């Protein structure tokens, strides 16, 4: 059985609060009737929305679609509205989401060393430690907001550790990051101010780490030290590039995981048969259903609704539409991953789904660099929640939950839950 209502019979209204709560019927209409559609966004920028899986996969790998905003034929009213607020003024534009080869290839090669399977596996105990510590803070209360108390701080502290942000500074990062994901929910200009503060801190941290950098790398060296070492040994990484790389790894590396954990937990709590199936599998010490389950959660209601901006460098055709040079293109990952031409019963959550080549982390040369770490965090968070809080349940009507209003990401503002409080741990002598 499908989990979704039928798509509307006429062209749907996009980017309303109702749409944010459940965009999937509207995306079903677009896939069928206007799979590549020119749309005016809430910011006033006009862009092409790509909603079918085959077109989306093509667009994500098409090198005629540049990531560099310099290729945007933008009118005056749209200037600066296609990226992260404040990144232009803070000189943080030269990161992986805004550049093309050969610079993209050079910077990605430098950073990819931090996300190898071996490095991520070495980081697994720290992720488990963070997960347990956060649950310990509320396990005896019987209730929690899983976004603010769990899904949000976990990836913040994890990426700070990976970057090499000292523990005593990590709460500042948590505050800045919190402002950055509020989008329209915070004070006017709050995102840009947080970006500026983060930029100033990263410049100071890079300076301090460069002064204290040992002659030879140590095992498990943090990522910022690795970027400094590369810039000092012939890789031509400027300080702006190093700061921008650290910034985007934090920005892109935490909100996606916040939403993976939040959306994934919500999906499990609203699909009890799938949740119990996973709990039974975990109780038997199995990992297979957890691994396929995280992939299915990424497909079913993933953390990234629209891929980040692309700009046509020359005229091209996509899904039967002619796209002019300079036009912005937004690939709707959430729509592509529910395409019935690619996925059987796409509106059904099936944790054991096979052949699940979803686009949740992109495709092509811009495939998400931090995907292995995000998957580790998602698997660890969900397995630990379901094991330690076996009767976890929603403490609100799903209709009352609110989704954040950003364009690119999809995530809940809050996720109130209840559970049987754990007994006080015995104090060791």
Report DSSP state, residue 304. B
Report DSSP state, residue 6. P
Q: Which pLDDT does position 367 carry in this prediction?
A: 84
**Alpha carbon distance 181, 179 (integer Å):** 6
Looking at the DSSP bridge assignments, the partners of residue 399 are none
Which of 339, 329, 334 is closest to 361 using CA atoms? 334
Lowest mean pLDDT among 179-193, 255-269, 363-377: 179-193
Q: Which pLDDT does position 117 carry in this prediction?
A: 81
| pLDDT over 50 at 187, yes or no | no
Specify the pairing of strand 328-331 against strand 46-50.
parallel
pLDDT-based confidence at 425, cuts 50/70/90?
Answer: very low
| Residue 4 near residue 28 (C-beta atoms within 8 A) | yes
This prediction's pTM: 0.89
Residues 6+ apart with CB under 8 A from 2: 345, 347, 348
User: What are the pLDDT digits (tens) for 248-296?
Assistant: 777 777 889 999 999 999 999 999 999 999 999 999 999 999 999 999 9
Q: Which helix (H) or strand (E) holds 50?
A: strand 46-50
Distances (CA, A) of 340 to 28, 297, 337, 402: 9, 17, 9, 27
The C-alpha angle with vertex 304 and arms to 127 and 275, in degrees rounded to 5, equals 60
| pLDDT over 70 at 4, yes or no | no
| pLDDT over 90 at 36, yes or no | yes
- Mean per-residue pLDDT, 408-417: 94
pLDDT-based confidence at 93, cuts 50/70/90?
Answer: low
**Alpha carbon distance 405, 413 (integer Å):** 9
In the block, residue with structure tokens 């983060």:
198
Q: What are phi and psi of 331, to 5 degrees?
A: -85, 120
């Amino acid at each position: 059985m499908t989990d979704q209502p039928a798509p509307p019979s006429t062209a749907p209204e996009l980017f309303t609060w109702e749409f944010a709560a459940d965009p999937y019927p509207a995306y079903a209409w677009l896939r069928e009737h206007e799979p590549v559609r020119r749309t005016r966004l809430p910011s006033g920028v006009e862009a092409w929305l790509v909603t079918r899986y085959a077109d989306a996969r093509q667009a994500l790998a098409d090198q005629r679609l540049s990531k560099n905003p310099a290729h945007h034929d933008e009118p005056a009213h749209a200037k600066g509205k296609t990226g992260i607020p404040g990144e232009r003024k803070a000189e943080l534009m030269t990161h992986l989401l805004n550049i093309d080869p050969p610079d993209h290839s050079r910077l990605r090669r430098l950073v990819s060393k931090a996300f190898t399977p071996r490095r991520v596996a070495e980081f697994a105990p720290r992720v488990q430690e963070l997960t347990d510590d956060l649950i310990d803070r509320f396990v005896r209360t019987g209730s929690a907001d899983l976004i603010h108390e769990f899904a949000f701080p976990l990836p913040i502290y994890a990426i700070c550790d990976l970057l090499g942000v000292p523990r005593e500074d990590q709460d500042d990062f948590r505050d800045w990051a919190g402002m950055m994901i509020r989008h329209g929910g915070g004070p006017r200009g709050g995102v840009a101010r947080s970006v500026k503060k983060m930029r100033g801190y990263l410049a100071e941290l890079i300076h301090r780490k460069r002064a204290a950098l040992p002659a030879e790398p140590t095992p498990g060296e943090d990522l910022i030290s690795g970027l400094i070492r590369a810039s000092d040994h012939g890789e031509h990484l400027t300080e702006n590039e190093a700061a921008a790389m650290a910034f985007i790894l934090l920005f892109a590396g935490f909100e996606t995981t916040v939403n993976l954990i939040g959306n994934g937990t919500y999906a499990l709590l609203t699909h009890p048969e799938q949740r119990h199936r996973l709990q039974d599998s975990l109780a038997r010490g199995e990992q297979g259903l957890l691994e396929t389950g995280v992939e299915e959660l990424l497909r079913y209601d993933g953390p990234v609704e629209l891929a980040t901006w692309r700009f046509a460098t020359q005229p091209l055709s996509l899904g039967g539409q002619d796209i002019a040079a300079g036009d912005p293109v937004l690939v709707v990952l959430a729509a592509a991953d529910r395409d019935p031409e690619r996925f059987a019963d796409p509106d059904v959550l099936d944790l054991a789904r096979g052949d699940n080549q979803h686009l949740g982390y992109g495709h092509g040369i811009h495939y998400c660099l931090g995907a292995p770490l995000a998957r580790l965090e998602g698997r660890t968070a969900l397995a630990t929640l379901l094991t330690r809080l076996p009767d976890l349940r929603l403490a609100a009507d799903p209709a009352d939950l609110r989704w954040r209003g950003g364009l690119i990401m999809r995530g809940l503002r809050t996720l109130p839950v209840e559970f049987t409080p754990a007994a006080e741990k015995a104090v060791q002598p």
